[in-house]
Structure 1
Amino acid sequence: MKKYFSIITILFFAISSAQEKKAETSQDFQNNLNKEYANKTESPLTEEDFKVFKTLDFYPINEKFTIEAKFVRTQNEKVFEMKTSTTRLPKYIKYGELSFIIDGKNFKLNVYQNIDLSKKEGYEDYLFLPFSDLTCGKESYLGGRYIDMRFPKSETVIIDFNKAYNPYCAYNHKYSCPIVPLENDLKIEILAGVKKFHD
């Protein structure tokens, strides 16, 4: 009996350890983003900026902006063309709504699914959460920021604004980036995630 208990205990800790490694923390995300931007094969930076790049500018990680939100899967949504910084019009569909509270105030964000991306292996459950807030054009990028998500597995979702990143257009005008829909403009300062690149 002790032998079986030991095996189960070992398996439990092995699984728990694997899950911990799999779960990317806010700091892990920011470290990985810096590595990506420092890698010329992956970086969206211009040649000029790449030569002097050391790190992205982040707000200090703040647990206040790791939010528990209520997810509602919306029904009968129609595919639409999302505006971008160029003439490109990628097809998206509203996948659901995320409702949450910050400083006692209620907020809501729509989360979207990119139709073409959903057909690619590994991205079938990928969701796109664009948002703008009162820091835009001041401390953060004027065009807003993005957060990557996956299909929620329950009605409760964690939104980690510490993982908010800029669209590639914030660094290089050669890219075509989705424009944050007006309904995802938050009337609050989200003091988390990546700040703007140039003053």
Structure 2
Amino acid sequence: MLKNKLFLTGLFLFALLVLYYAFFDGANSTSIDGLDATINPETYRQQVTQKRAEKDNFMRTNAESPILDKSSFRGLRYFASDPSYRVVARLEPFADKTQKLVVSMSDGSEEVYEKFAHAVFSLNGEACRLLVVKLANTYSILFRDATSTKETYGGGRYIELDPTQLTDNHAVIDFNTAYNPYCAYNPRYACPLPPAENKLSVAVKAGEKYIEHE
């Protein structure tokens, strides 16, 4: 059983992450704790579309892609990009920096992550709180929401945080970059399951959708 990577290898994911800060409208941008909070919506949507096309090409052509039948692969399904799903969250760091989280994997095994902080933010008018975990140098959020098992993968989706858009007190979280684990497309992979506390009652209609056997 292959262990699923918390981030997709290649330039396409890194480029998605740097969208957080690469396309700001300088005339109207604001700053929270040193993080840019405003983007140019039109430029942002264009770049998200471009990066999704790059990811589809990776999934269709790369040997490391989890897609089994690449010849019939027609691309992943996505919600329309929406800048309102890019939020600046307030972080509540753990006083004890050594706290660990044992995460269950889809194959029954376990993986140990560092507890980094809780991210507190508002989404669609609702107050939300998610645990941010760290593995090596990767900061991630493993989550489920009201779309899980309906429009998105039942096992949850992942978001990775760009360290350059992360401070002691705030972080940019872009749900447009939420993606499915490899095990959604290939049972040979084992994927970390979101902790129980990371279930949002709000429907996150952003990022990757999921249709079985696509």
Pairwise same-fold verdict (TM > 0.5): yes
| Secondary structure, aligned partner of 1:128 | strand
Q: Distance in 1 between matches of 2:50 and 2:130?
A: 25
Q: Contact 2:161–2:172 (CA<8 Å) still a contact in 1?
A: no
The runs of 5 or more residues in structure 2 that have no matched partner are 1-20, 24-43
Q: CA deviation at 1:103?
A: 2.6
Q: Report the structure number with the largest CA radius of gyration.
A: 1
Q: Cα–Cα, structure 1 residues 35 and 154, in superposed 2: closer, same or farther, change >3 Å?
A: farther
The runs of 5 or more residues in structure 1 that have no matched partner are 1-18, 119-123
Q: Which residue of 2 is the match for residue 60 of structure 1?
A: 80
| Equivalent of 1:99 in 120, 133, 136 | 120
Residues 27-36 or 135-144, more deviating: 27-36
- 1:119-172 deviation line (CA, Å, top 9, x unaligned): xxxxx3x11111100001111111110011144135222111010000111101
Q: Which residue of 1 is the match for residue 57 of structure 2?
A: 35
Q: Cα–Cα, structure 1 residues 131 and 29, in superposed 2: closer, same or farther, change >3 Å?
A: farther
Q: Distance in 2 between matches of 1:170 and 1:83?
A: 16
| Secondary structure, aligned partner of 1:82 | strand
| Equivalent of 1:162 in 164, 176, 179 | 176
Q: Contact 1:66–1:162 (CA<8 Å) still a contact in 2?
A: yes
Q: Cα–Cα, structure 1 residues 98 and 26, in superposed 2: closer, same or farther, change >3 Å?
A: farther
Q: CA deviation at 1:42?
A: 2.3
Q: CA deviation at 1:72?
A: 2.2
Q: Is 1:130 paired with 2:129?
A: no
Q: 4+ residue runs of structure 1 moved beyond 6 angstroms?
A: none
Q: Distance in 2 between matches of 1:29 and 1:82?
A: 29
Higher relative contact order (CA 8 A, sep 6+): 2
Q: Cα–Cα, structure 1 residues 153 and 26, in superposed 2: closer, same or farther, change >3 Å?
A: farther
Q: Is 1:45 paired with 2:67?
A: yes
Q: TM-score, normalised by structure 1?
A: 0.77
Q: Distance in 2 between matches of 1:70 and 1:28?
A: 29
Q: Is 1:145 paired with 2:165?
A: no
In the alignment of these two chains, the number of paired residues is 169
Q: Which amino acid aligns with 1:176?
A: A
